[in-house]
């Protein structure tokens, strides 16, 4: 089974993000970067499928030079090789523009399965996998927790709302977007990190993947969220804030 896993590098979860001077994006200098969480689960699912059924796992990521560290991390965990779409201004593209780039890179590979996380932690649009399937002309299923290979294709477990699930059968090739929590994530071993250094990373310039079209949706500006509730912030030592909170809960909110 040949599996392509599309992964994204995003700001680390605890990073203090600031709006840049133009008000159109976040200040990227000084940020720490990490592999998007649900993409890590997509990679894990791919590695487990390969361990069970054999084949190859190829990671695919679009972004500037810094993305190579996240690609190495995926290779260290066990992916066989990687494709890096070198694109310095990914933020100028809309979801369709990004999916077009990924599609152009996936097509010549003819994979049996394309996996990606269900959404990114930065933009959170949750669209890339679904649009990718549409552009590749493949069936898809989203929010998948478990993948099983069958004679006819795949049986997958899809998460629905409020504790409900559903199983779906679909033929391969197919695209799946993976929900977090379906598997236990592995760490890269020392041996894995060593071997990753010798694995193939093919860098393709975005301009080689076809003409970019103007976006049809633009992020005009970013702002701090508007508060809907007036929050009383309590400060002092741990002991003081604890005592103040108990007072408030008892006599003001009356919930104790």
Segment 113 to 152, residues that bind another protein, using CB under 8 A = 121-127, 130-131, 133-135, 139-143
211 in contact with another protein (CB under 8 A): no
Which of these segments, 6-14, 51-59, 77-85, 190-198, binds another protein (CB under 8 A)? Answer: 6-14
219 in contact with another protein (CB under 8 A): yes
Distance of alpha carbon 105 from alpha carbon 210, whole angstroms: 10
Helix (H, G, I), strand (E, B) or coil at 102: helix
Q: Taking the CB of residue 183, how many other CB atoms lie within 10 A of it?
A: 18
162 in contact with another protein (CB under 8 A): yes
190 in contact with another protein (CB under 8 A): no
Which of these segments, 55-63, 106-114, 159-167, 186-194, binds another protein (CB under 8 A)? Answer: 159-167
Q: Identify the CA nearest to 135 among candidates 96, 182, 108.
A: 96
167 in contact with another protein (CB under 8 A): yes
CB of 149 to another protein, least distance (A): 16
CA within 13 Å, CB half, 39: 26
Kindly report the backbone phi and psi dihedral angles of residue 5, in degrees, each rounded to the nearest multiple of 5, phi listed first: -115, 115
Query: Of 75 and 170, which has the nearer Cβ to another protein?
Result: 170
In sign, the C-alpha dihedral spanning 87, 90, 93, 96 is positive
Kindly report the backbone phi and psi dihedral angles of residue 26, in degrees, each rounded to the nearest multiple of 5, phi listed first: -90, 155
Q: Which of residues 10-29 bind another protein (CB under 8 A)?
A: 11, 13-14, 16-17, 19, 26
Q: Which of residues 84-113 bind another protein (CB under 8 A)?
A: 94-96, 99
The whole-angstrom distance between residue 221's C-alpha and the CA centroid of its chain comes to: 23
Which of these segments, 42-50, 57-65, 188-196, 236-244, binds another protein (CB under 8 A)? Answer: 236-244
């Amino acid at each position: 089974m040949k599996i392509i896993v599309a992964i994204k590098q995003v700001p680390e979860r605890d990073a203090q993000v600031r709006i840049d001077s133009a008000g159109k994006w976040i200040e990227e200098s000084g940020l720490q970067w990490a592999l998007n969480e649900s993409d890590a689960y997509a990679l894990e699912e791919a590695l487990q499928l390969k361990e069970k059924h054999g084949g190859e796992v190829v990671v695919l990521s679009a972004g500037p030079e810094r993305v190579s560290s996240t690609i190495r991390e995926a290779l260290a965990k066990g992916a066989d090789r990687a494709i890096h779409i070198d694109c310095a201004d990914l933020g100028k593209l809309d979801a369709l523009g990004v999916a077009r780039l990924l599609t152009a890179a996936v097509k010549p590979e003819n994979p049996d399965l394309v996996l990606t996380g269900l959404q990114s932690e930065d933009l959170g649009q949750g669209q890339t996998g679904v649009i990718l399937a549409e552009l590749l002309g493949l069936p898809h299923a989203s929010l998948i927790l478990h993948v099983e290979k069958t004679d006819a294709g795949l049986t997958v477990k899809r998460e629905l709302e409020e504790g409900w699930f559903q199983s779906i059968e679909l033929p391969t090739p197919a695209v799946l977007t993976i929900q977090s929590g379906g598997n236990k994530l592995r760490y890269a071993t020392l041996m894995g990190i060593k071997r990753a250094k010798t694995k193939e990373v093919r860098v393709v310039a975005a301009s080689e993947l076809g003409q970019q079209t103007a976006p049809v949706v633009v992020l005009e500006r970013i702002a701090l969220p508007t508060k809907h509730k007036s929050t009383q912030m309590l400060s002092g030592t741990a002991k003081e804030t604890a005592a103040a909170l108990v007072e408030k809960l008892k006599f003001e909110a009356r919930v104790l």
